[in-house]
């Protein structure tokens, strides 16, 4: 199973909405509020303030993962004056992204897509961290499975002293998931009388992303395309309300088109769900 970083996912989303400019600075970032890249001249049409109120995201060097809004832009020297305090001085050229939508809004939309496309998109989970306790029927679910769904619970008797012996797992039937609103637990249909290791199998949403190097647990193109389509829908939806009426209609149209793209891709990108255990009672 491959992985894909947050920065790559944001780049994909930016490209899908036509909001992707990726360049390097041509003057090292200094301890001021200026970002200089003559590469931007091929995008500015020779016009000052072409990028006024756009967002600059710095993707490497000492200001990695910092984002600033553009105050003014001078085409003559390809310099963006950005809001906020002074940046940190660099000794090497930094990678930058420039867009109408902020990196933060794009990443937020991707995280919403991760949550809302579950269980269409998911990561498989196998957890063997829980050990039995005497006279205990209920055990807290691991965090990842508390956010997802449990398909199977198995057990292994820890009585063997052979550390290299093959593990043999036996299915447990009749278990239940309990949820009091604050903590999810699984309840056994029996009381373990000896040391047992539990093996929980299920699915969970992809990991939530924060830093640009964080990653989700897939590199499959079909899954990435599906996630990007839904993230695009969420990004447009984010801007439907607080803008002028004409822009609202435009964003509504774009969000509906993006959701239609998600539905179309969903027909081919959805992966089969692991087989779950029938709850028949007993052990």
Kindly report which listed range (13-17, 32-36, 131-135, 223-227) carries the lowest average pLDDT score. 131-135
Alpha carbon 13 to its chain's center? 12
Q: How far apart are CA 253 and CA 201, in angstroms?
A: 41
- Judged against a pLDDT cut of 50, whether residue 244 lies above it is answered with no
- pLDDT of the residue at 159: 57
Question: By three-state DSSP, how is residue 99 classified?
Answer: strand
Q: How far apart are CA 239 and CA 251, in angstroms?
A: 7
- Burial, 279: exposed, middle or buried (Cβ in 10 Å; 0-12, 13-18, 19+)? exposed
Question: By three-state DSSP, how is residue 55 classified?
Answer: strand
Could you read off the pLDDT of 111-125 as tens digits, one per residue? 999 999 999 999 999
Within 8 A by CB and 6+ apart from 91, the residues are 28
Q: Are 89 and 48 in contact (CB under 8 A)?
A: no
Number of H helices, E strands in the chain: 6, 15
Q: How far apart are CA 25 and CA 6, in angstroms?
A: 22
- Global pTM reads 0.86
Alpha carbon 133 to its chain's center? 35
Kindly report which listed range (31-35, 165-169, 237-241, 270-274) carries the lowest average pLDDT score. 270-274
């Amino acid at each position: 199973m491959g992985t894909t970083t947050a920065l790559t996912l944001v780049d994909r989303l930016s490209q899908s909405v036509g909001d992707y400019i990726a360049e390097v600075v041509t003057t090292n970032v200094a301890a001021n509020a200026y970002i200089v890249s003559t590469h931007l001249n091929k995008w500015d049409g020779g016009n000052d303030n072409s990028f006024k109120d756009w967002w600059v995201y710095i993707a490497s060097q000492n200001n990695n993962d910092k984002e600033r809004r553009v105050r003014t832009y001078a085409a003559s020297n390809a310099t963006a004056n950005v809001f906020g305090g002074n940046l940190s001085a660099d000794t090497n050229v930094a990678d930058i992204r420039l867009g109408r939508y902020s990196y933060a809004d794009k990443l937020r939309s991707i995280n919403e897509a991760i949550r809302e496309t579950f269980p269409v998109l998911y990561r498989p989970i196998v957890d063997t961290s829980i050990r039995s306790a005497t006279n205990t029927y209920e055990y807290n679910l691991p965090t990842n499975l508390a956010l997802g769904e449990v398909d199977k619970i198995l057990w292994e008797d820890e009585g063997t002293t052979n550390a290299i012996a093959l593990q043999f797992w036996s299915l447990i039937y009749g278990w239940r998931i309990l949820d009091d609103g604050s903590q999810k637990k699984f309840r056994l249909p029996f009381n373990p009388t000896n040391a047992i290791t539990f093996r929980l199998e299920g699915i969970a949403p992809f990991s939530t992303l924060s830093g640009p190097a964080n990653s989700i647990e897939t590199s499959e193109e079909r899954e990435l395309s599906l996630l990007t389509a839904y993230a695009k829908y969420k990004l447009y939806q984010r801007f439907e309300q607080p803008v002028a009426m004409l822009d609202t209609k435009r964003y509504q149209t774009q969000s509906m088109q993006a959701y239609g793209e998600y539905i179309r891709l969903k027909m081919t990108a959805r992966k089969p769900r692991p087989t779950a255990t029938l709850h028949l009672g007993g052990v």
